[in-house]
Amino acid sequence: MEDMSGTAAGAYDDDSFGAAHGFGAAQDTEPARNRPAPHGAAPALSPEARAAKRAFDLVVAGAALLALTPLMAAIALAIRLDSPGAPLFRQTRGGLGGRTFGMFKFRTMYRTEDGPEVEQALPGDGRITRVGAFLRRTSLDELPQLLNVLRGEMSLVGPRPHALKHDRMFAAHVEDYALRQQVAAGMTGWAQVQGARGPTQTVEQIRRRVELDLWYVRNWSLALDVSILLRTTAVMIQGHNAI
């Protein structure tokens, strides 16, 4: 699991970020998701595979939500005691096929704005609360996304969803970026357990993440999902690259 962005307005704009981090000017204005898939691109899962993945999600997410309800209640209380504001909020993200949905999160910052401008969290970010720093380091702020999984908006495992502004920017500059949305967005993914988590500040980081996401789609199996979930537990404990 990971949090790709913060929650406050006032982010960098697409052009300045691209120039500063090696994207360059976009030459093709056609949305990436409308381009024909190149040879060897990640195929969509078959109906049988989608059904098996959905059944797995329902069983595991339902059991996890029941088991983790006391912990989630304790986290909500800690957030309320640490700083003013609701402990839970939703942020708009892009999912399967580019469709948008409201992703549930525990609040880790003093502000919980959602809109076209969403700024990535960076090391030493002053917007992060004391409890929020711990939640982000351990990825416990992502636990409410079990509700998104049960609602069919996310999967337990899949490419992590980005803020909509970042989706548009990355798709304009990274080839095949939109192909990662051929499967449902995940609470955790192959990229995250391979170390590609945390803020994406260079084009190389984004391309690496897309490569790992597409490898996951091409090689999906229930056994792979189970393996990623088990490895995610270790990543959460270690807290590598988390902000």
More confident residue, 6 or 51: 51
Q: How many CB atoms lie within 10 A of CB 44?
A: 14
Instruction: Identify any residues that bridge with 109 across adjacent strands, giving them in sequence order.
Output: 128
Residue 2 DSSP SS3? coil
More confident residue, 101 or 111: 101
Average pLDDT of the residues in 214-239: 90
Rounded to 5 degrees, φ, ψ at 213 are -60, -45
How confident is the model at residue 14, as a pLDDT?
44
Nearest in space to 74 (alpha carbons), one of 135, 139, 126? 135
Q: Is 0.75 surpassed by the pTM of this model?
A: yes
Q: How confident is the model at residue 126 (pLDDT cuts 50, 70, 90)?
A: low
More confident residue, 101 or 241: 101
More confident residue, 117 or 136: 136
Give yes or no for residue 12 having a pLDDT over 60.
no
Give yes or no for residue 220 having a pLDDT over 70.
yes
Q: How confident is the model at residue 109 (pLDDT cuts 50, 70, 90)?
A: confident
